[in-house]
């Protein structure tokens, strides 16, 4: 199976000294604290069998040591394509197949399920926002994972969902909960980014060069502190955007390109405090009616955001202070003008910036990530 590499463990058998124990595979604290998902993601996707000192072997909630071979094979079989071979004698050789953070086949199937909910729920915008808000907490000045934040699935925990910037995103989690339940070998972090990229693509946007294999944080204590995401109405919008996005390691071009995601969706006063309760473009949905969109066709991914915020001619269309500044700041303006005039240029830069955003702060397993698309596609 693609995405799996063989590994070998040599285990002393029998032994009076139980070897280090395996960590639980059920997510432990994650399951206890997440009120939104009944099945927590796997605590650590890597079996780390090549490194006996790794965390899987040093922490434990299981009483089974490696001597307990039936138990091991049981655990491995509940991973993906586990292969366990045991030979008799003083030493036993266990050949297992190492599994990665997410399973490539499950990722592909999950993507089809995401397309299905997009078709029926018209939830593209909120899924794009979900991916962005999980990733956008990244701080390049912090080296340690997961303290540095980023796309690590921490947004599934209530403590982070309650951050003011995340108002309403619980709806996105509820939408993809059945998919997470169905594909236990896809991490939350991957599912959020998969949902976001798929939503862009399905709405007519560019193909995003994504990779997967994001390791999840395992407990709410690993969530970033509140305040890392941008405000829509700061005193000095250009300075604020630079402060926040430069901290993520993103530049002016990427700030402008990514802001173009507001070509999708609506702002709701009861969530963010921004926007009208409804407009002629939103009062009938699709999806839950209401809110104020940036564009007329707010379920279509195109460059109309840049055209509309440049013109500011329609009172029913939203322009946040952080949107308006894209045509006011001299450096931002170069890109905003370009994207208003050239959708192809916008799509190219957006796809690159979105992929970069989705990788911020990520711990990949395998380190090079997992690509689920044909390189040619």
Residue number closest to ligand HEM, CB atom: 265
Find, among 1, 86, 100, the residue nearest to 49 by Cα. 100
Site membership for ligand HEM, residue 271 (CB under 6 A): yes
Piece of 152-160, 215-223, 271-279, 363-371 that binds ligand HEM (CB under 6 A): 271-279
What is the SS3 assignment for 148-214?
CCCCCCHHHCHHHHCCHHHCCCHHHHHHHHHHHHHCCCCCHHHHHHHHHHHHHHHCCCCCCCCCECE
Among 20, 65, 209, 230, binds ligand HEM (CB under 6 A): 230
Backbone angles phi, psi at 293, to 5 degrees: -95, 160
User: What x-and-dash track marks residues 321-350 binding ligand HEM by CB under 6 A?
Assistant: -x----------------------------
- Write down the catalytic residue from 124, 133, 163, 262: 133
Piece of 85-93, 260-268, 277-285, 369-377 that binds ligand HEM (CB under 6 A): 260-268
Among 261, 317, 325, 340, binds ligand HEM (CB under 6 A): 261
Smallest distance, ligand HEM to C-beta of residue 346, A: 13
Query: Residue 145 or 274: which CB sits closer to ligand HEM?
Result: 274
**CB-CB contact of 222 with 150 (8 Å):** no
Residue-by-residue DSSP string for 106-162: HHHHHHHHHHHHHHHH--HHHHHHHHHHHHTT--TT--STTTT-SSSSGGGSHHHHT
Site membership for ligand HEM, residue 256 (CB under 6 A): no
Is 133 marked active-site? yes
Q: Which residues are catalytic?
A: 133
Binding-site ranges for ligand HEM (CB under 6 A): 125-126, 128-129, 132, 168, 230, 232, 241, 258-259, 261-262, 264-268, 271-272, 274, 322
């Amino acid at each position: 199976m693609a995405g799996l590499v063989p590994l070998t463990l040599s285990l002393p058998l029998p032994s009076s000294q139980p070897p280090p124990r395996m960590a639980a595979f059920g997510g432990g604290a994650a399951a206890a604290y997440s009120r939104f998902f009944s099945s927590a993601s796997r605590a650590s996707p890597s079996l780390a069998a090549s490194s006996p000192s790794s965390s899987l072997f040093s922490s434990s909630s299981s009483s089974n040591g490696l001597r307990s071979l039936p138990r091991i094979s049981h655990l491995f079989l509940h991973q993906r394509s586990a292969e366990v071979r045991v030979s008799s004698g003083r030493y036993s050789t266990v050949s297992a197949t190492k599994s990665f953070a997410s399973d490539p086949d499950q990722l592909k199937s999950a993507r089809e399920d995401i397309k299905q909910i997009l078709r029926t729920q018209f939830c593209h915008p909120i899924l794009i926002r979900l991916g962005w808000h999980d990733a956008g907490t990244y701080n390049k000045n912090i080296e340690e994972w997961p303290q540095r934040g980023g796309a690590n699935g921490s947004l599934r925990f209530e403590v982070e969902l309650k951050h003011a910037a995340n108002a309403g995103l619980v709806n996105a989690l509820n939408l993809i909960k059945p998919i997470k339940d169905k594909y236990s070998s896809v991490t939350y972090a991957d599912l959020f980014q998969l949902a976001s990229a798929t939503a862009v693509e399905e709405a007519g946007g560019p193909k995003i060069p994504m990779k997967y294999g994001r390791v999840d944080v395992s407990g709410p204590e690993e969530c970033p502190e509140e305040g890392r995401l941008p405000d829509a109405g700061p005193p000095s919008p250009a300075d604020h955007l630079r402060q926040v996005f430069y901290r993520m390691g993103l530049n002016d071009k990427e700030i402008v390109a990514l802001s173009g995601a507001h070509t999708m969706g609506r702002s709701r006063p009861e969530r963010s405090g921004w926007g009208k309760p409804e407009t002629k473009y939103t009062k009938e949905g699709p999806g839950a009616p209401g809110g104020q969109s940036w564009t007329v066709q707010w379920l279509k991914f195109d460059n109309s955001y840049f055209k509309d915020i440049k013109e500011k001619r329609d009172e029913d269309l939203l322009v946040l202070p952080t949107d308006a500044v894209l045509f006011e700041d001299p450096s931002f303006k170069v890109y905003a003008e370009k994207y208003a005039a050239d959708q192809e240029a916008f799509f190219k830069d957006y796809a690159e910036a979105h992929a970069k955003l989705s990788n911020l702060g990520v711990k990949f397993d395998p380190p090079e990530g997992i690509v689920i698309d044909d390189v040619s596609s």
